[in-house]
Structure 1
Amino acid sequence: MLWSGVVVLLVSWVLQPVASVHSEDTLPEQTSVENADASDTLPELKTLDGHFPFDVPETLQQWESRAEKLRTRVAMATGLHPMLPRPPIEATIHSVVERDGFQIEKVYFESLPGHFVTGLLFRPAGENAERGLNAAGKRPAVLCPHGHGGRMMRNDAETMERLIANGDEMHLESGSHPKLARCATLARMGCVTFIFDMVGYADSVQLSYEFAHRRHATREEESVPAGSDPELFFSTPADARLQSILGLQTYNALRSFDFLASLDEVDPERLAVTGGSGGGTQTILLDALEPRIAASFPNGMVSTSMQGGCACENACLLRIGTGNVELAALMAPKPMGMTAADDWTIEMMSDGYPELKQLYSMMNQPENVLCESLVQFKHNYNYVTRRIMYGWMNEHLDLGLETPIVEIDFPAITDEEGAVWDEGHPAPTERGPKHEQSVLSWWNGESGQLLEDCLGQSATAKGFDQKIRPALATLFDLPMPETSGVSVKYSAPVEHDSGAMVVSGVVIDEARRREIPIRKWVAKSDSETSSAGTAIWIHSAAGESTDTPEWSDAFAAQLDRFNTIVVIDIAEMPTDADEGKQRTNPQPRRASAAFTYGYNRPLASTRCADVLAVVSAFQNPPGGVSLVAPEGSAAYALAAAAIAGPFLEDAVIDVSGFRFANLLHQDDEDFVPGMVKYGDVDALAAWRAPYALTIRDSGGKNWATTKAIYQARDASDQVRCQASQ
Structure 2
Amino acid sequence: MSFLFRASMTLAPLLFAASMFAETPVDRRTNIQTLNTPRSFPKIESKAKWQNHAREIREQILVSCGLWPMPDKTALNPKTFGKIFREDYSIEKVYFESYPGVFVAGNLYRPTAKGPGPFPGILNPHGHWDNGRMADKEEGSIAARCIHFARQGMIAFSYDMVGYNDTFFPDNADTSNKLNFYERHRRFANAPSNLLWNINLMGLQTWNSIRALDFLESLPDVDRTRLACTGESGGGTQTYILGAIDDRLATQAPVVMVSHTMQGGCSCENAPGLRIKFSNVEIAACAAPRPQIIVGATGDWTRDTTTVEGPAIEQVYKWFNAQSSFRYSTFDFPHNYNQTSREAVYDFFGSVLKPSHPASKETSYTREPDADLRVFPDGKLPSHAKTEGELISFLISQSKMQLAKLTPTNRKSISGFKQTMLPAWRHTLQVEEPKGQVIAQSVYLKTSANYSTEKLILSRKDRGDRIPALLFSPLEKAHRWTAILVHPEGKSAFVGKDSTPVGLVQALLAKNIQVLSLDTFLTGEAENHEVSSARKQADLFFTTYNVTDTQARVQDILTASAFITKKRRGAKIAVCGMERAGLWALLASPGVDAVVADCNQLDVSSDDEWLQSDLFVPGLRKLGGFETVTSLAVPNPAFLHNTGTQFSTGNLNQIYALHPNNSLTLARERASSAKVAEWIASLK
Partner SS, residue 562 of structure 1? coil
Residues in 1 aligned to 2:606 and 2:78: alpha-carbon distance in whole angstroms: 41
Partner SS, residue 651 of structure 1? strand
8 Å contact from structure 1 (residues 33, 505) kept in 2: no
Quick one: which amino acid aligns to residue 119 of structure 2? Answer: R
The match for 1:642 among 587, 590, 596 is: 590
Higher helix share: 2
Match of 2:633 in 1: 688
8 Å contact from structure 2 (residues 557, 585) kept in 1: yes
The match for 1:491 among 444, 448, 455 is: 444
Match of 2:546 in 1: 600
Task: Give the alignment of 1:162-311 within 5 angstroms.
Answer: 163=138, 178-206=141-169, 207=172, 213-214=182-183, 233-311=189-267
Compute the displacement of 1:250 (Å): 1.3
The match for 1:653 among 577, 591, 597 is: 597
Match of 2:372 in 1: 417
Partner SS, residue 480 of structure 1? coil
Inter-CA distance 146–552: structure 2 relative to 1 (3 Å threshold): same
8 Å contact from structure 2 (residues 598, 643) kept in 1: no
- Which region of structure 1 is more displaced relative to structure 2, 502-511 or 248-257? 502-511
Compute the displacement of 1:488 (Å): 2.6
Match of 1:25 in 2: none
Compute the displacement of 1:690 (Å): 2.6
Inter-CA distance 628–448: structure 2 relative to 1 (3 Å threshold): closer
Quick one: which amino acid aligns to residue 265 of structure 2? Answer: G
Inter-CA distance 400–109: structure 2 relative to 1 (3 Å threshold): closer
The match for 1:536 among 469, 481, 484 is: 484
Quick one: which amino acid aligns to residue 467 of structure 2? Answer: I
Inter-CA distance 718–148: structure 2 relative to 1 (3 Å threshold): same
Q: Residue deviations 1:46-78, cap 9 Å, x none?
A: 111112232252222222222222211111111
Match of 1:675 in 2: 620
Residues in 2 aligned to 1:33 and 1:265: alpha-carbon distance in whole angstroms: 66
The match for 2:381 among 420, 424, 427 is: 427
8 Å contact from structure 1 (residues 99, 410) kept in 2: no
Q: Which has the larger radius of gyration?
A: 1
Q: Residue deviations 1:372-425, cap 9 Å, x none?
A: 121x1111111001001111111111115354x2222223321211221257x9
Partner SS, residue 291 of structure 1? coil
Residues in 1 aligned to 2:380 and 2:28: alpha-carbon distance in whole angstroms: 58
8 Å contact from structure 2 (residues 273, 430) kept in 1: no
Q: Are positions 1:556 and 2:510 aligned together?
A: no
TM-score (norm 1): 0.80
Q: Are positions 1:365 and 2:319 aligned together?
A: no
Residues in 2 aligned to 1:322 and 1:148: alpha-carbon distance in whole angstroms: 23
8 Å contact from structure 1 (residues 663, 671) kept in 2: no
Compute the displacement of 1:485 (Å): 3.3
The match for 1:720 among 661, 665, 671 is: 665
Compute the displacement of 1:659 (Å): 6.1
TM-score (norm 2): 0.84
Match of 2:419 in 1: 466
Residues in 2 aligned to 1:180 and 1:371: alpha-carbon distance in whole angstroms: 24
Quick one: which amino acid aligns to residue 328 of structure 2? Answer: C
Residues in 1 aligned to 2:32 and 2:46: alpha-carbon distance in whole angstroms: 31
Residues in 2 aligned to 1:548 and 1:540: alpha-carbon distance in whole angstroms: 20
Q: Residue deviations 1:118-166, cap 9 Å, x none?
A: 11111112xxx216x6xxx3111111001111444446xxxx6xx5xxx
Compute the displacement of 1:275 (Å): 0.7
The match for 1:566 among 508, 516, 528 is: 516
Count of aligned pairs between the two proteins: 635
Match of 2:464 in 1: 513
Inter-CA distance 394–662: structure 2 relative to 1 (3 Å threshold): same
Q: Residue deviations 1:479-520, cap 9 Å, x none?
A: 23234632232236497xx99764433223334232211123
Partner SS, residue 622 of structure 2? coil
8 Å contact from structure 2 (residues 162, 185) kept in 1: no
Structure 1 unaligned blocks of 5 or more? 1-31, 169-176, 220-231, 586-591
Quick one: which amino acid aligns to residue 101 of structure 1? Answer: D
Partner SS, residue 147 of structure 2? helix
Structure 2 unaligned blocks of 5 or more? 1-16, 672-684
8 Å contact from structure 2 (residues 28, 465) kept in 1: no
Inter-CA distance 416–400: structure 2 relative to 1 (3 Å threshold): closer
Inter-CA distance 584–549: structure 2 relative to 1 (3 Å threshold): farther
Compute the displacement of 1:358 (Å): 1.2
Match of 2:306 in 1: 349
Inter-CA distance 538–103: structure 2 relative to 1 (3 Å threshold): same
Residues in 2 aligned to 1:354 and 1:363: alpha-carbon distance in whole angstroms: 15
Residues in 1 aligned to 2:261 and 2:419: alpha-carbon distance in whole angstroms: 34
Partner SS, residue 669 of structure 1? coil
Residues in 1 aligned to 2:109 and 2:97: alpha-carbon distance in whole angstroms: 20
Inter-CA distance 482–659: structure 2 relative to 1 (3 Å threshold): farther
Quick one: which amino acid aligns to residue 126 of structure 2? Answer: H
The match for 2:338 among 359, 382, 389 is: 382
Q: Are positions 1:453 and 2:405 aligned together?
A: yes
Residues in 2 aligned to 1:480 and 1:548: alpha-carbon distance in whole angstroms: 33
Partner SS, residue 31 of structure 2? coil
8 Å contact from structure 2 (residues 351, 358) kept in 1: no
Quick one: which amino acid aligns to residue 387 of structure 1? Answer: E
Compute the displacement of 1:298 (Å): 1.2
Partner SS, residue 676 of structure 1? helix
Residues in 2 aligned to 1:662 and 1:212: alpha-carbon distance in whole angstroms: 34
Quick one: which amino acid aligns to residue 454 of structure 1? Answer: L
The match for 2:65 among 78, 81, 90 is: 78
8 Å contact from structure 1 (residues 276, 301) kept in 2: yes
Residues in 2 aligned to 1:283 and 1:595: alpha-carbon distance in whole angstroms: 20
8 Å contact from structure 1 (residues 533, 622) kept in 2: no
Inter-CA distance 394–562: structure 2 relative to 1 (3 Å threshold): same
8 Å contact from structure 1 (residues 479, 643) kept in 2: no
Match of 1:588 in 2: none
Q: Are positions 1:36 and 2:21 aligned together?
A: yes
8 Å contact from structure 1 (residues 532, 562) kept in 2: no
Inter-CA distance 666–623: structure 2 relative to 1 (3 Å threshold): closer
Compute the displacement of 1:533 (Å): 5.2
8 Å contact from structure 2 (residues 132, 160) kept in 1: yes
Compute the displacement of 1:291 (Å): 2.2
Inter-CA distance 353–623: structure 2 relative to 1 (3 Å threshold): closer
8 Å contact from structure 2 (residues 240, 283) kept in 1: yes
Partner SS, residue 81 of structure 2? strand
8 Å contact from structure 2 (residues 631, 655) kept in 1: yes
Residues in 2 aligned to 1:347 and 1:687: alpha-carbon distance in whole angstroms: 44
Quick one: which amino acid aligns to residue 656 of structure 1? Answer: N
Partner SS, residue 307 of structure 2? coil
Match of 1:6 in 2: none
Partner SS, residue 406 of structure 2? coil
Match of 1:145 in 2: 125
Provide the identity percentage. Answer: 27
Compute the displacement of 1:80 (Å): 1.0
Inter-CA distance 345–623: structure 2 relative to 1 (3 Å threshold): closer
- Which region of structure 1 is more displaced relative to structure 2, 542-551 or 108-117? 542-551
Match of 2:579 in 1: 631
8 Å contact from structure 1 (residues 71, 289) kept in 2: yes
Residues in 1 aligned to 2:248 and 2:75: alpha-carbon distance in whole angstroms: 16
Match of 2:268 in 1: 312
Residues in 2 aligned to 1:660 and 1:366: alpha-carbon distance in whole angstroms: 51
Inter-CA distance 501–211: structure 2 relative to 1 (3 Å threshold): farther
Quick one: which amino acid aligns to residue 508 of structure 2? Answer: Q
Partner SS, residue 567 of structure 1? strand
The match for 1:441 among 382, 393, 402 is: 393
8 Å contact from structure 1 (residues 659, 681) kept in 2: no
Partner SS, residue 445 of structure 1? helix
Quick one: which amino acid aligns to residue 631 of structure 1? Answer: E
